[in-house]
Amino acid sequence: MAIVKVCGIETEYGIHSNNSHDNPVSLSSLLVNSYVTDLERAGWDFENESPANDARGFSATNGQPPQIETHLVNAVLTNGARYYVDHAHPELSTPECANPLELVLYDKAGEEILRRSVASANKYLPAESPVTVIKNNSDGKGNSYGCHENYLMDREVPFSRIAKQIITHFITRIIMVGAGKVGTELAGNSRAIPFQLSQRGEFFEEEIGLETTLKRPIVNTRDEPHADPARFRRLHVIVGDANMSEVSTFLKVGTTALVLAMIEDNWLDNADIMLANPVHAIHQVSQDVGLSTVLELVNGTTATALQLQWQIFELASDYVEQNGLSVLGDEEVGKIMMERWESTLESLESDPMSLSDQLDWVAKYRLLQAYMDRHNASWTDPRLRAIDIQYHDINPEKSLYNRVGMERLVTDNEINKAVVTPPRDTRAFFRGMCLAKFSNEIASANWDSLVFDLKDGPLKRVPMMDPLKGTADHVDTLIQGSKNATELLHGLEVQ
Amino acid sequence: MPEREQKHRSTSTKRETEEETDEHSASTASGEKLKAELDDILDEIDEVLEENAEEFVRSYVQKGGQ
């Protein structure tokens, strides 16, 4: 029987300033550092801070790039997330979530954390060259950065089966969850490609592999479970786009989690949906704005991405009828997800533009078309590329996503709460609550352990090898009742 | 595809009929409103879009990503 699909998203954000002296590594460090510094100093209150100087040597007065720590920063937050500098980008990994709607919330909370970081960082930067953060996956010049999904899987399921059976969904889900992009970045593309459904799709060159930066594979083989390796696997998914749309994120995570559960339960063993040439197919689907391109299947027939999505949906419906939706962590959320999946496919079939308030690529495409009509512009006009990038700006004053009336699945109040409090139904609860209450006694925090320093005696490590243990049900009473980490650890031992 | 559609329709006919009736009348009534909204959005975009779009697009370079 499939296990609950605990899930999370890691997002590498694009970072930019118009000051050519600012390098992205320093800017990224400044973002994370200034956010964490404001937290420490202000005790969660961001509103009343106006520091001119900082003990770390930040300075807002000389108009030069700030002097900041250049080591790569790595912070674990009280909502259970990890916030750090990866390569030349700020990156935020959400806490582990027990259902797809909760992950939408924590993905948006991640955006809010970056937004607050920008406000903090800009206090140290000259007013004329503030830092800008973009939640997309490509700079339009062939450089891509990732938005990776993670799903908890049963170690007993052979990886080869997962890889073989998930690939069609990874490729065809693009018609629902692509973030949209103007043009192409592949030098070899001689044909004019005005618009693609996916930011990332054209960067994939292999079916299966370990790489994430070169020769990117559609199925990534990284095997680093951050949990008991004898019981669990973490499927690391690098093929998706970063979504601004809450509906797109919900469908991306919800459908994928369910299809992975189906694979665990041998539900796709006889499904006749294998693509003959996955790498070619992902490029085809990404370019298929008309949703009509036929893809070759292993069985010698052809089907469009939409037809294949319908087939996967029908298989999922049958699966759910027999097995329920508990694998999605919450039956009600699962039902909403199935309804949304179906209605989205129906709309893609009848009138894709009717989804312009729900799906990123449709919203962006409609906006670009309207802009071209008004300004008599062509697809190669740089203003269209600017719109493409600025759609993903997380600054609400700049963001075009914010202006096109997209449907919401979570509220701003929920997001603000999720910035500082962890999900209740995974081990992220234990991590986040301990960091909030006992941070002075925590030596280090990681995905699968917390290390306490009780000042007398050796460090004490609390392993968290099961992502579904350490939930509010398990430890809330104990944490609330513990005055310090010594009492907490004593209580854990007694338990 | 016809086979799929038939099966699919049979599982959701009731819900679809109810919802589509509402949606259709709503969308017809609000067609002009949507167009007006899009015009408003375009006005806003003209205001907030980076002034020098070409320079902005050219200078947005992101290396070292996964």
Q: Cα(A326)–Cα(A317) distance, rounded to whole angstroms?
A: 14
- The pLDDT, as a whole number, for residue B29 is 56
Q: Are A14 and A27 in contact (CB under 8 A)?
A: no
Once rounded to an integer, what is the mean pLDDT over residues A314-341? Answer: 98
Residues 6+ apart with CB under 8 A from A234: A150, A151, A152, A153, A223, A224, A225, A226, A227
Q: Which residue has the higher pLDDT, A37 or A303?
A: A303
Complex ipTM tops 0.95: no
- The pLDDT, as a whole number, for residue A374 is 94
Using a CB-CB cut-off of 8 Å, the residues of chain B touching A310 are 1, 4, 8
- The pLDDT, as a whole number, for residue A456 is 84
- The pLDDT, as a whole number, for residue A37 is 84
- The pLDDT, as a whole number, for residue A22 is 82
- The pLDDT, as a whole number, for residue A190 is 65
Is the pLDDT assigned to residue A71 strictly greater than 80? no
The three-state secondary structure class of A442 is strand
Of the candidates B7, B58, B62, the beta carbon closest to that of A14 is on B62
pLDDT band at residue A20 under the 50/70/90 scheme:
confident
Q: Pick the residue from chain B with its C-alpha nearest to A18.
A: B59
pLDDT tens sequence across A180-196: 999 999 877 667 899 99
The mean-pLDDT minimum among A68-72, A132-136, A224-228 falls in: A68-72
pLDDT tens sequence across A76-99: 999 999 999 988 999 999 999 999
The full length of chain B comes to 66
Once rounded to an integer, what is the mean pLDDT over residues A235-260? Answer: 98
Q: Cα(A53)–Cα(A66) distance, rounded to whole angstroms?
A: 10
Residues 6+ apart with CB under 8 A from B29: none
Report CB contact under 8 Å: B27, A389. no
Is the pLDDT assigned to residue A407 strictly greater than 90? yes
Residues 6+ apart with CB under 8 A from A193: A183, A184, A287
Of the candidates B4, B42, B49, the beta carbon closest to that of A386 is on B49
Q: Are A210 and A222 in contact (CB under 8 A)?
A: yes
Is the pLDDT assigned to residue A72 strictly greater than 60? no
- The pLDDT, as a whole number, for residue A21 is 80
Q: Pick the residue from chain B with its C-alpha nearest to A345.
A: B8
* Average model confidence (pLDDT) across chain A: 91
pLDDT tens sequence across B21-65: 444 444 455 667 777 888 889 999 999 998 899 999 999 999 888
Could you tell me what percent of chain A has a pLDDT over 90? 85
Q: Are A244 and A364 in contact (CB under 8 A)?
A: no
Once rounded to an integer, what is the mean pLDDT over residues A34-54? Answer: 50
Phi, psi angles (nearest 5°) of residue B65: -100, 165
Once rounded to an integer, what is the mean pLDDT over residues A124-145? Answer: 95
Using a CB-CB cut-off of 8 Å, the residues of chain B touching A405 are 37, 41
Q: How far is A41 from chain B (nearest CA, A)?
A: 31
Q: Is position A265 annotated as part of the catalytic site?
A: no
Is the pLDDT assigned to residue A450 strictly greater than 80? yes
Using a CB-CB cut-off of 8 Å, the residues of chain B touching A140 are 57, 60
Is the pLDDT assigned to residue B16 strictly greater than 60? no
Q: Among residues A38, A54, A86, A330, which one is catalytic?
A: A86
- The pLDDT, as a whole number, for residue A245 is 98
pLDDT band at residue A41 under the 50/70/90 scheme:
low
- The pLDDT, as a whole number, for residue B1 is 42
Alpha-carbon distances, residue A143 vs A241, A316, A385, B17, B64 (angstroms): 14, 36, 15, 46, 8
Could you tell me what percent of chain A has a pLDDT over 70? 93
Report CB contact under 8 Å: B66, A238. yes
